[in-house]
Structure 1
Amino acid sequence: MKILLTGSTGFVGKQLTLRLLEEGHQVFALVRNEKKAEMLKGAVAANDQNRLNILHGNITQEHGGLSAKTIESLKGSIDCVYHIAAYLSFDDEEKEQLYEINVGGTKNLLELAKELQVKKFFHVSTAYTLGNQEEAVEQLHSLERSFLNYYEKTKCQAEHLVFDYADHFQVNIFRPSIIIGDSKTGEAESTFALYGIIRSFQLMKRKMERKGNAPAQKVKFVCYQGAAQNLIPVDHVVKGLVAGLRHADHKTIYHLTNDHPPSNAEVFELLKDELDFHNVELVSPDRQNELSDQEKLFNEPLSVFHAYLKKTIHFDNKNAEQLFKQAGVEPVDVTEDVLRTIISGKNRI
C-alpha cells in the first residue's frame, strides 16, 4: 500500500514508519524539519530506503503545505493517511498553538486527504479525551464536558472533525493511553510523563551522591499511591495501528490501552529498585506542605500530571480486542519485567 504519514519523525510515528517499510509498504512522510527528516532516513534499513518518500510540508498550512504539483502526482494513489502529528502541552497559556496544530492541522490534513481521494484516514488521538470522567468508551465523547486541560479539548474537537469526513473516506480513531518505550528493548524517544519522572529521580540521586553521605531523613516524593496509570508500550500501539490497515471498521474508535495498569505505588517501587535509589519516601498529596525547597524541585516534573495521577480510569477496549483478534496479533502484556525493561532504559535514546 501507499501510505502518507504525519508525525513520522516523532516517538510513535518513527516506529510506525519503520514497521510499515519492513512490511513492504511505500511511505510518504510529511515533515517540516529537515534535520529530523535526515535522522528518520538514517534509521531506515538500506533495503527499505527506496520506499521512503519525504514530503516537505507543514500541517498548519492549507493542504499540509504541499504544492499543487505534488498533490496532483499523488491524487488517487494514497491508500491510507495516518495523522499522528500533534502538539502536546498542558499549559493553557498555549491555547493558540494547541488549537492551530491539533484542530487546524487536522482540518488541513482532512482536506488534503479529500483532495488526494484517499481510501482511509486514521487519526491517532489520545485515550484522555474523556475529561473528568473515569469511564471511557470507544465512542466520540461529547464536547459539552469539563476537560482537565485545553490539550484534551483540542484532541476531542479533532476527533469530531474526523468523523465529519466519514462520507469521503473510511475514518478511524486510535486512542493510545500513556505511551512508554518498547516492551522488548526499552527503547524510547520521549522526555514526557514517566520519562520526566525517571529523569527527576536520576538527578536527585546524583545530587545526593555528590554530597558524599545520605541524609538521615528520606526525600519525599508526592504520589497518589493507590491510583493506577495506564502505561502502554509503543510496540503495542504500533501493532494496533498496523492491524487497522486491513481490519479496522469504518467509523470505529479503538482504545490502545492496558487492561491491567499498574498502580502508582508499584511503578515507583520499580523506579526505586531499577535506579537503585531507595532513599526516597512516597507521601500522600496532603503532605505537600512538608516539602523542602529541594523536594519541591524533585517533585516538579510530576506536578502537571496530578489531575491524572489521582484517579484510575477504566478504558473499554472491546473494539481493539476484536481488531487484534482479526489481525491474528497478540497484544503486549505489560508485566513487571516489561516495566523493568522500560525503566532501566538500557536502549533509551
Structure 2
Amino acid sequence: MHIVTGATGFVGSHLLADLLSDPDTAEVYALCRPTEELSARQRLLDAIAGANRDLPVGAVERLVVLEADVTRPLCGVSPERITRGGDSCVFWHLGASLQWRKGRRDETFDTNVAGTRHALELADRAAADLFVYVSTAYTCGSLGGDIPEALHRPASFNNAYEESKCAAEHLVAGFGGPRSLILRPSIIVGSSTDYSASGSYTGLYGYISELRRFNEMIGDSTDTVRLSTNRDTRLSFIAVDHVVQDMRSIVLAELKAPQQTVYHVTGESECYVGEILDYMLKLFGLQDRILTDAETIQDPTPLERFFEKRVEFFVQYTRTEKRFVRSTSPGRSVLINELAKYIDAEVIL
C-alpha cells in the first residue's frame, strides 16, 4: 500500500496516476486539503486528469482520500484511519511550497520543514516501512561541479525554497522513525509521450511565462535589455514520467535490499543555457531585444532591473553548472532538439 502527500502537485499527480494504474498496487491513501470550491477527492481527480493519464477501469476504487493539511500535527490525520494490509507500506511525501522569495521564507519553512516533520510523525504512527521524501537536486545551493548523492551543507543558497528543502532533508535523515529515502529530481519537464506540460507551471514553464509577459509588456518598444547569464552552463532536464519511473524503481530496489539514503533522479546535463535561450527568444521574436552574452552588468537600466527581478529565480541556475552524480543507471538525457519540443508544446498554447 502507498500513502501520498502532495498528490495534487505536478510530480505528485503523475505518481498517483502511476500507482493507481499498477495492478499490483493495493490501496493508495492520498492526503489532500479541500478548498471552498472543491472537495479533496475532486481536487485529486482533477489533478489526475491534468496529468493526462487515463486510468484503467476500477483503478479509482483503490483511491482512499483523507482530508489533510501538512502544516498541522500528523497532517491533521488520525493514524487509525489508515488500515495496514499485508504488503509493505510506503509513505511518499511530496507536499511542499514552491515559494522562494525572502518575504515568504516563514511560510515556505512552515510547509517544507514543519510539514515534513508532521508527515514523518504520521508515517511513524502508521507503521510505514519506508518514508520517501521527494526533494530537489538543488539542495546543493551554491555548490557547483560534481554534486554527490549526500546531504549538503553549502555556504549559501540561491533562495528560501532550496534552503527549506535542504533543512527538511537533514530532518528526514535524522528522524528516528521508519527507514527513509531522499529522492532528488533536477529540472522536470512534461511528459515524454506528448511533450505537454502535463500540469507544470514552474521551472522551464515559469521562464516561458515570464518571456511571454515581457513580450506583451514591451509591445512595439525598441528598448533592449542585457541579461546576465553563463551561456556555457549546462542544465539537467528530466521528463516527469521518467522521474516517476526512476523513483518507483529505486523504492522497489530499496525495499528488497537497502543500499543508501540519497538518490539523484536526474537527467544528464546536456543542454547549454545559450542554446536554450536562443531558441526561446527566437520563438517570441525577442532575439534582438534580450541580449544574453553579458556575464555581469555594472550599470543596469530600469528596464533591465525590472526584467532581472522577474526572472531572478530562473537565472540563478544559469550561472553555475551542476553535474549530479547518479549511483543508479545514467539518467535519460534531454538534448536540445528534444527540449525544443517541450518548449514548442507550451509556446503554441
- Taking structure 2 as the reference length, what is the TM-score of the superposition? 0.84
Q: Which moved more, 1:223-232 or 1:107-116?
A: 223-232
Is 1:137 equivalent to 2:178 in the alignment? no
Aligned-residue RMSD, C-alpha: 2.8
Q: Which stretch of structure 1 is more off in the superposition, 276-285 or 22-31?
A: 276-285
Q: Cα deviation per residue 1:133-185 (whole Å; 9 max; x = unaligned)? A: 2132111224x7433333323222211222224x6433111011122222332
Quote the offset at 1:108 in angstroms.
1.0
3-state SS of the aligned residue for 2:232?
coil
- Is residue 99 from structure 1 mapped to residue 109 from structure 2 by the alignment? yes
The alpha-carbon distance between structure 1 residues 12 and 68, as it changes in their structure 2 partners (threshold 3 A), is: closer
Match of 1:174 among 183, 199, 208: 183
Amino acid at match of 1:342: Y
The 5 Å alignment of 1:178-217 reads: 178-188=187-197, 189-207=199-217, 211=220, 215=222
Establish whether residue 60 from structure 1 lines up as the match of residue 71 from structure 2: yes
Aligned identity (percent) is: 28
Shift of 1:30: 0.4
Contact 1:258/1:334, CA 8 A, preserved across alignment? yes
- Residues 220-235 of structure 1: matches in 2 within 5 Å? 220-235=226-241
The Cα shift of 1:234 comes to 1.5
Size of the aligned set, in residue pairs, is: 331
Q: Give the C-alpha shift of residue 22 in structure 1.
A: 1.1
The answer on whether the counterparts of 2:186 and 2:237 sit within 8 Å (CA) in structure 1 is yes
Per the TM alignment, residue 32 of structure 1 is displaced from its structure 2 partner at its CA by 0.8
1:207 CA displacement = 4.8
One-letter amino acid matched to 1:12 = V
Q: Does 1:28 align with 2:38?
A: no
Assess, with a 3 A threshold, how the Cα gap between structure 1 residues 95 and 303 changes in structure 2: closer, same or farther.
closer
> In 1, distance between residues paired with 2:92 and 2:259?
15
For residue 171 of structure 2, give the secondary structure of its aligned residue in structure 1.
helix
Q: Tell me the residue number matched to 1:17.
A: 16
Q: Using the alignment, how far apart are the partners of 2:305 and 2:181 within structure 1?
A: 42
Residues 157 and 118 from structure 1, CA distance in 2 versus in 1: closer, same or farther, beyond 3 angstroms? same
Task: Give the alignment of 1:263-274 within 5 angstroms.
Answer: 263-274=272-283
TM-superposition CA deviations, 1:227-281 (whole Å, max 9, x none): 2222222122111111123113354211112223312101112213444544433
Of 103-112 and 247-256, deviating more is: 247-256
Q: 1:112 corresponds to which residue?
A: 122
Q: Quote the residue 2:333 is aligned against.
A: 333
| Worse-superposed segment, 43-52 or 116-125 | 43-52
SS in 1 for 2:339: helix
CA drift at 1:102:
1.3
Q: Distance in 1 between matches of 2:11 and 2:252?
A: 20
What 5-or-longer segments of structure 2 have no aligned partner? none
Question: CA, structure 1 residues 201+307, in 2 after alignment: closer, same or farther (shift >3 Å)?
Answer: closer
* SS in structure 1 of the partner of residue 296 of structure 2: helix
What secondary structure sits across from 2:270 in the alignment? coil
Name the SS for the 2:7 alignment partner: coil
Q: Which residue of 2 aligns with 1:252?
A: 261
Separation in 1, partners of 2:237, 2:296: 25
Alpha-carbon spacing, 1:184–1:77, altered in 2? closer, same or farther (3 Å) = closer
* AA of the residue aligned to 1:184: T
Matches within 5 A, 1:69-80: 69-71=80-82, 73-74=83-84, 79-80=89-90
Moved more, 50-59 or 275-284: 275-284
**Alpha-carbon distance in structure 1 between the residues aligned to 2:346 and 2:317:** 28
Correspondence 1:343 to 2:349: no
Q: Are the aligned partners of 2:189 and 2:238 in contact in 1 as well (CA < 8 Å)? A: yes
1:40 alignment partner in structure 2: 44
Larger relative helix fraction: 1
SS state at 1:262 partner: strand
User: 1:58 touches 1:64 (CA, 8 Å); kept in 2?
Assistant: yes
Instruction: Give 1:337's aligned amino acid.
Output: N
TM-score, normalised with respect to structure 1? 0.84
CA distance in structure 2 between the aligned counterparts of 1:155 and 1:347, rounded to whole angstroms? 30
Q: Name the CA distance, whole Å, in 1 between partners of 2:309 and 2:98.
A: 18
Partner deviation per Cα, 1:297-331 (whole Å, 9 max, x = no partner): 444332234433211012111x232xx8xxxxxx5
